[in-house]
Structure 1
Amino acid sequence: MINFEQLENNLEKLRVSYLAAHPFPHLVIDDFCDKAQLEAAYEAIPELDNKSRDYVFANNKFEKSNYKEICPELRSLYEDLSSERFNKILSFITAKKVFVDPKNHGGGLHQGKKNSFLDMHLDFNYHPIHKNWYRELNLLLYLNKDWKPAYKGGLKIRDLRTDEETELDVPFNRLIIQQCGPYTLHGYDMTNFPEGKYRTSIATYAYQEHKMLIEKPRTTDWFPKEESSTFKKLFAKNYNFLVQTKNKFFGSGTAKNQ
């Protein structure tokens, strides 16, 4: 499913592009998958009805964690993404020994329906089950057929240290590899897709195994817009505490997302 040879023939170029990118390391790869197979996968994707747990920080966003069960093409993609061959490619590009979570906890197929948005945020840093797996990368494969900038929903990334920001287009068959860290904010503004079309992506995460923790474990940290309501800002400020308290008594929803 993945165009492995295209990646392997351009490893040096991909590594330089990733490490030199601003505002923080990231990489855009077009034609990531075999086009015919990915189009077949796209046609098989149903409208999702499982709403995201992002509460007030996302709107009209739906997800399916176990997307590989939808069709053979998506199963093939899932297997390629978690393969040792792909792990070696990612490790070379990032100059770190990383690996894709084979269970893809917290990831999956995402659909943003009418007026969808996702506030800027930092992702959880340590895996909810494997406590010494540090989240190094987000891998975001976009399935937006005939996408145009006027549809909005481009991936916005901002460095929390410098406030430098850029927005990346999200057309069909584009993979964006994005560094995860305590300063790598990302999200997207409210979409304007035509009726019957959705902002569609598949999210996968890569980790590095740590011998000791380098950061205090956190859940998602939210950074709503300045013009957001007082309630949303207050909720964002206390979100980590509230989620950690909930997890203590009821377990992690992300860890159960299989």
Structure 2
Amino acid sequence: MTDATLVDLQSLKSRLPELADAYRSARPFPHIVVDDVLYGDAFTRAAKEFPPMGDPFWKGYLHVNETKYGNTQPDTWGPTLNAVAREFVSPAFLGFLEELTGITNLLPDWSMDGGGLHQTLRGGHLNVHADFTTHHVKENWSRRVNILLYLNEEWREEWGGQLELWDTEMTAAQARVQPAGNRMLVFTTTADSFHGHPDALNCPEDVARCSMALYYFTEEASPVRKATNYRARPEETGIKRAAIAIDRSAVDLYDRAKRKLGISDDQVSGILERVNKLRRPKK
């Protein structure tokens, strides 16, 4: 597929001067929120194709700092979702991202290292964090840009799940993004671009917070490797702070093992799911 038929790239490009100015001046770090990214019928099809909770290709990211599920295998997605992802890695969309962000020579990642489809269920959360900084296989690839496309046809404000964007000193959330359907967030990824939705979701049991995440890289001679850096909010207790810090260290050890030993997320997903079931409160 060479021409965009699902992503309304023409509209995005027509607004580039305005969007680029807003992106680069945004606080606490460069970002932009854009609505109606997919054509209306394309979004409806994509949302309906989103895999159900029981789909066998979900793998759990289930530990102290996050409780969500991911699917990094586009070949298992419905045709519309797969085609949307292909448009997001196309040369035309890369050109738009480079002009928007001011970052040249961006490389897309069809392997979906940490990306792909994400869902978070009732009670789930994602603590505030800065993302891992280099690709786990192509270690000279430095992570530079994230895009998140929200895929719920309905998401009510009282369900929570707003993505918080925090300042570098972790003193306050300076922006919040409601995960409304067909809304895209683009932001520059750095060692201190802290973001997350740390409070437990309050959505119905049969509803999940749904999104597609794609990450873009540049090739560097010697990029600095940092694992996902989870951080506590100012109001959090000493016990919770300790738990976040211990889990952050465990994630760093896993990140190192994943790179050196070739351990896959699939290998640990089942273990984490069983542990998570044991610690869930009994109903």
Q: Distance in 2 between matches of 1:10 and 1:164?
A: 30
CA contact (8 A) 1:224 1:232 kept: no
Task: Give unmatched runs, 5+ long, in structure 1.
Answer: none
Return closer, same or farther for 1:232/1:7 CA change in 2, 3 Å cut-off. Answer: same
Name which of 76, 88, 91 aligns with 2:95: 88
139-148 or 12-21, which moves further after superposition? Answer: 139-148
Q: Does 1:63 align with 2:70?
A: yes
Match of 2:229 in 1: 221
Q: Distance in 2 between matches of 1:255 and 1:15?
A: 38
200-209 or 155-164, which moves further after superposition? Answer: 155-164
**3-state SS of 1:172 partner:** coil
Match of 1:170 in 2: 179
Q: Does 1:192 align with 2:197?
A: no
CA contact (8 A) 2:157 2:178 kept: yes
Return closer, same or farther for 1:147/1:239 CA change in 2, 3 Å cut-off. Answer: same
CA contact (8 A) 2:60 2:70 kept: yes
Match of 1:206 in 2: 216
Which residue identity is paired with 1:86? F
**3-state SS of 1:167 partner:** strand
Which residue identity is paired with 2:209? R
80-89 or 219-228, which moves further after superposition? Answer: 219-228
Q: Deviations over 1:137-185 (max 9, x none)?
A: 1110001222221111011111224634221111000000011111111
Q: Distance in 1 between matches of 2:110 and 2:183?
A: 21
**3-state SS of 1:204 partner:** strand
TM-score, normalising length from structure 2?
Answer: 0.82
Match of 1:76 in 2: 83
Q: Deviations over 1:83-133 (max 9, x none)?
A: 000000000001111232132222111111111111111111011111121
Which residue identity is paired with 1:111? Q
**3-state SS of 1:229 partner:** helix
Q: Distance in 1 between matches of 2:72 and 2:35?
A: 24
Return closer, same or farther for 1:168/1:56 CA change in 2, 3 Å cut-off. Answer: same
Name which of 34, 40, 43 aligns with 1:38: 43
**3-state SS of 1:136 partner:** strand
Match of 1:235 in 2: 246
Match of 1:16 in 2: 21
CA contact (8 A) 1:48 1:63 kept: no
Q: Distance in 1 between matches of 2:217 and 2:108?
A: 6
Task: Give unmatched runs, 5+ long, in structure 2.
Answer: 1-5, 269-283
Q: Distance in 1 between matches of 2:11 and 2:267?
A: 35
TM-score, normalising length from structure 1?
Answer: 0.90
Aligned CA RMSD, in angstroms, stands at 2.3
203-212 or 232-241, which moves further after superposition? Answer: 232-241
CA contact (8 A) 1:33 1:173 kept: yes
CA contact (8 A) 2:150 2:183 kept: yes
Which residue identity is paired with 1:71? G
State the shift of 1:198 in Å.
Answer: 1.0
Q: Distance in 2 between matches of 1:206 and 1:249?
A: 22
CA contact (8 A) 1:63 1:110 kept: yes
Name which of 4, 9, 12 aligns with 1:7: 12
